[in-house]
Structure 1
Amino acid sequence: MPGYLKRILGYAALTAICFAGPTLWKVHAESNQLPEYKVKAAFLYNFARFVEWPESSTSSPEFSVCVLGLDPFGEDLNIINSKPVKARKVAIRLITDLQHIGNCDCLFVSDSEKKNLAGIFQALNEKNILTVGDMEGFIDAGGIIQFVLHESKIRFVVNLPAAERAGLRISSKLLELAKGVKE
C-alpha cells in the first residue's frame, strides 16, 4: 500500500477513534458498562502513531507502552498489545518504580502516582518519553497529554512545551483534535 494511502487511512482511523470513541463511551456509560479505559487504550495507540520520536530513541523492535503505578486499565490495554506502530510492535509494561521508565516510549502515569509527579518528571528530564495521564493538573505539572472529560466525552489536552522538552513532535492532525493546547 503506498505511503500516502497509509497516512490517509491512519488519519481516518484517528479521527474515528477521537470522535466515535467518546460517543461509544457515553452510550456505555448510560448502561453502567464503562469502557473508559478501552477508549483511553485506543487513544494511547493513536497518540503513538501521531507523535514523532527522535531517530536515536527508536532503535528497539518494541514500542513500549508503560503504566506507572496502579493499573487502571486491567485487561483493556491488551487491545493494543502487539499492534504495529511505525514498524515496531507495541509491548505493554506495568512498572512500579522510576528505575524502569527509561525503557518506555509512552508512559501512562496512574492516578496513584499524583503525589510523586515532581519526582517522576524530574526523572524523565530530557528523556524521549510521551507522558500521558488522566489526573487533574497533569499537564500543569509537566505531563504532555492529559485526558479530560468534556460533555461526557473523553477528550485530551496537549502541553507543547513539555513535548518539545522531551524531543517529541506532535502531528498537527493530533493537535487539531485536542480539546486544548498549552503553548
Structure 2
Amino acid sequence: GKTPKQLRDKAMLELLYATGMRVTELITLKITDVNINVEKITCHDRKKDRVLEFGQEAHKALTEYLEEGRPQLISKNIKSDVLFPNCAGGEMSRQGFWKLLKKYGEKAGINKDITPHTLRHSFAAHLVENGANLKVIQKMLGHSDISTTHMYMETGSSRVKNIYDKTQNIV
C-alpha cells in the first residue's frame, strides 16, 4: 500500500530481512543511523554497534518511506529522530511490531507462527544456503560466540542432505 503506515511497515520488513537485525535494534534506529546513499545502517545493541549493508529492495522501500511516509507519521512530533515511529510519532514498541508482523503474515496467508526472529533466522539460513562464510554471518548477526551462529550451518546441512538423498533415488 501507499499509506504512510504501509510504507513504514514495508520498509521495516524489508530492512529486517535484508540485514538480519534484531527487532529491538530495528525499532530503536534513529534517522541518523541510516546512510541511504551507500546502503548502510548502523545498528546498536546493548554491547556494541555494527554497520550492516542492505540491498536494492530495502533501499527502494526505505527511500519511498523516508520521502513519502515518515514526514506524515512524525507530523505531530516533528522533533522525533526515530526512524520508524508509531502512528503517534513516538517510538514503536516490540509488541507493536509483533502485531504488525502477525497481521501481514495472516494477510499473506502464512498459517505458521511468524515472529521477528523468523525473519532473522531466514536471513541467516539463506546466507548459509548461498555459501556465505560462517564468520561473516556471525559478524552480521552480532553473535559474540560462533556456536550460536553454527545452528544456521546445521539448517543448511540438512537441506543439502535432503537434496542429496533425493538425487540418489534418481540414479
TM-score, structure 2 normalization? 0.24
Higher helix share: 2
TM-score, structure 1 normalization? 0.23
**Bigger Rg over Cα:** 2
Higher relative contact order (CA 8 A, sep 6+): 2
